[in-house]
Amino acid sequence: MGRENFGSKLGAVLAAAGSAVGLGNVWRFPIETGQNGGAAFIIIYVLCIIILGLPIMISEFLIGRYTHANTAGAFRIVSNGSPWKWVGRMGVFTGWFILCYYVVVGAWTLHYTYLSVTNAFYGVPAQQYENIFGDFVSSSWMPTLWLFLFIGVIHFVITRGVQSGIEKSAKLMMPTLFVITIFLAVCSIMLPGASKGVEFLLKPDWSKVDSTTILEAMGQAFYSLSLAMGCLCTYASYFEKNTPLAKSAVNVALIDTLIAIMAGFIIFPSIFNIGMDPNEAGVGASLTFVSLPNVFQQALGDGSVLAVVFSAMFYFLLFVAALTSAISLHEVATAYVTEEFNMSRKKGATLVTATILVLGTLCSLSFGPLSGVTLFDRNIFEIFDDFSGRILLPLGGMLISIFAGWVLDRRLYHNEISNQGNLKTPYFRMLVFSLRYIAPLAIGLVFLDQLGAFSFLK
Ligand code: TRP
């Protein structure tokens, strides 16, 4: 069976960047930055990316490209029959699990794009936004409809294959995303009072930095870079042999961080413009779907063309960001079933899509008709989110770094990152040191923190 590759290095980087740039960049990074000391947090975050994120990303790239196989197959090959093969299987499971709830939020971005375009926020009083969101997510057919549409788009791209599906869509969507981000950030910065927002985001305040900040920065860095489950490993299995691994990883990290910071420039100037307290704007869903629609109407003129265009573009941006990430998660599972069970790509993708339709719908309905189904007081959506984010991802990250640092043959490692000796690798020792000592320890701490061991710090 012929295996496809990405057609160009640019396409490969854009696809991987598409995986990385997602909801995490827009709805978590900016607010975390603002609350944790602005530029001080950004500096810590960038250090986390350099010291921990890049070594792990390079390792995932390496394992994928070396084996040219899906994540489970890749780990089976590099583990030489040892139990380390389970890391790959766990990765596939984790990705599939994340996808089940990620698509739900992707569907919400579509609904909010639609509401923006139809000027549905015109004249809505500030307190009403919470109800609009609450009524929408708790209804049954509306979110499900958007969910099916969102999953349908993913399915369409995936079935078209690596080059004409994933790569082509990334080449179209990533530049679009970039242009929209810049446009929105420039608009927002031109608002009166914007400087306060910029100050909130960038003014370094080291007094806000403590051990929790560092753990948060690490967790955010991993999530934002799509690490720890083999997403990038799968994409790298479509890299050509001469793709420079370290350079590609640096490019992906740069694009991801740049977009995250620019998302802050979209959000905070407008929040300050209307005199809202950024700490009350919320995080995640409540920031994105309750505070921001109101902020945009008020900052740009209720019902004005500018407000319509701005908010439609903002939710469309979120949609594109979520879509490219969801595609990468879907591909992990599709590559797995296709290759491990010898199916056609179409069949494999359809199977994955079918499971996502079912479980995604359950997650989606858990805000409405199924809200009574809970475990430890968490609804189905939250169970998927918690279990993958708090347990599977940190565990996967730790195992991947230990595997790459201690188990994987060093000569093989060096051979691969230097492209068989063709590239200089002055960072090699540093990389191995991080994989062996720093990364497992640091991720171990994040893990314990996520499990609540350090909650006394908060
Ligand atoms: N990185 C994406 C975001 O920022 C989400 C994502 C896609 C992800 N693939 C992943 C997170 C793999 C962890 C692991 O939203």
pLDDT at 456 over 50: no
Closest CA to 106 of 220, 30, 217, 24: 24
Residues with Cβ < 8 Å from 452, sequence gap 6 or more?
none
pLDDT at 280 over 90: no
In this prediction, residue 449 has a pLDDT band, given cuts at 50, 70 and 90, of confident
What is the enclosing helix (H) or strand (E) of 374? strand 374-375
Rounded distance, CA 174 to CA 259, Å? 11
Three-state secondary-structure class, residue 377: coil
pLDDT at 391 over 70: yes
The CB of 349 under 6 Å from ligand 1? The reply is no
One-letter amino acid for residue 324 of the chain: T
According to the model, what pLDDT value does residue 458 have? 40
For ligand 1, atom 3, name the residue with the nearest CA: 22
According to the model, what pLDDT value does residue 454 have? 54
The share of the chain scoring above pLDDT 90, in percent, equals 90
DSSP state of 403: I
- In contact, 259 and 173? CB cutoff 8 Å: no
Return the best residue to mutate from 98, 226, 233, 288 for the ligand 1 pocket (most ligand atoms within 8 A of CB). Answer: 226
The CB of 325 under 6 Å from ligand 1? The reply is yes
- In contact, 161 and 4? CB cutoff 8 Å: yes
Mean predicted confidence (pLDDT) in 275-304: 93
According to the model, what pLDDT value does residue 41 have? 96
pLDDT at 284 over 90: no
Q: What distance in angstroms lies between residue 36's CA and the mean position of ligand 1's atoms?
A: 22
The share of the chain scoring above pLDDT 70, in percent, equals 98
Q: What distance in angstroms lies between residue 224's CA and the mean position of ligand 1's atoms?
A: 6
For ligand 1, atom 13, name the residue with the nearest CA: 226
pLDDT digits (tens, 9 = 90+) for 310-366: 999 999 999 999 999 999 999 999 999 999 999 999 999 999 999 999 999 999 999
Three-state secondary-structure class, residue 11: helix
What six digits make up the tokens of 302? Answer: 């209720």
Mean predicted confidence (pLDDT) in 260-288: 92
pLDDT at 457 over 80: no
SS percent in the chain: helix, strand, coil, step 5: 75, 0, 20
Residues with Cβ < 8 Å from 140, sequence gap 6 or more?
365, 368, 369
In this prediction, residue 156 has a pLDDT band, given cuts at 50, 70 and 90, of very high
The CB of 361 under 6 Å from ligand 1? The reply is no
Return the best residue to mutate from 19, 108, 334 for the ligand 1 pocket (most ligand atoms within 8 A of CB). Answer: 19
Q: What distance in angstroms lies between residue 104's CA and the mean position of ligand 1's atoms?
A: 14
According to the model, what pLDDT value does residue 348 have? 98
Task: Please state the pTM of the whole predicted model.
Answer: 0.96
For ligand 1, atom 12, name the residue with the nearest CA: 226
- In contact, 416 and 65? CB cutoff 8 Å: yes
pLDDT digits (tens, 9 = 90+) for 59-109: 999 999 999 999 999 999 999 999 999 999 999 999 999 999 999 999 999
The CB of 23 under 6 Å from ligand 1? The reply is yes
Query: Which atom of ligand 1 has the smallest separation from the CA of 20?
Result: 1
Q: What distance in angstroms lies between residue 223's CA and the mean position of ligand 1's atoms?
A: 5
In this prediction, residue 453 has a pLDDT band, given cuts at 50, 70 and 90, of low
Mean predicted confidence (pLDDT) in 182-208: 94
The CB of 64 under 6 Å from ligand 1? The reply is no
Q: What is the chain's mean pLDDT, rounded?
A: 95
What six digits make up the tokens of 249? Answer: 């990883």
According to the model, what pLDDT value does residue 448 have? 86
Q: Please state the length of the chain.
A: 458
- In contact, 314 and 26? CB cutoff 8 Å: no
In this prediction, residue 31 has a pLDDT band, given cuts at 50, 70 and 90, of confident
Rounded distance, CA 328 to CA 167, Å? 11
For ligand 1, atom 9, name the residue with the nearest CA: 226
Residues with Cβ < 8 Å from 166, sequence gap 6 or more?
6, 15, 157, 158, 235, 238, 327, 328, 331
Q: What distance in angstroms lies between residue 205's CA and the mean position of ligand 1's atoms?
A: 28
For ligand 1, atom 6, name the residue with the nearest CA: 226
Q: What distance in angstroms lies between residue 124's CA and the mean position of ligand 1's atoms?
A: 33
Q: What distance in angstroms lies between residue 116's CA and the mean position of ligand 1's atoms?
A: 26
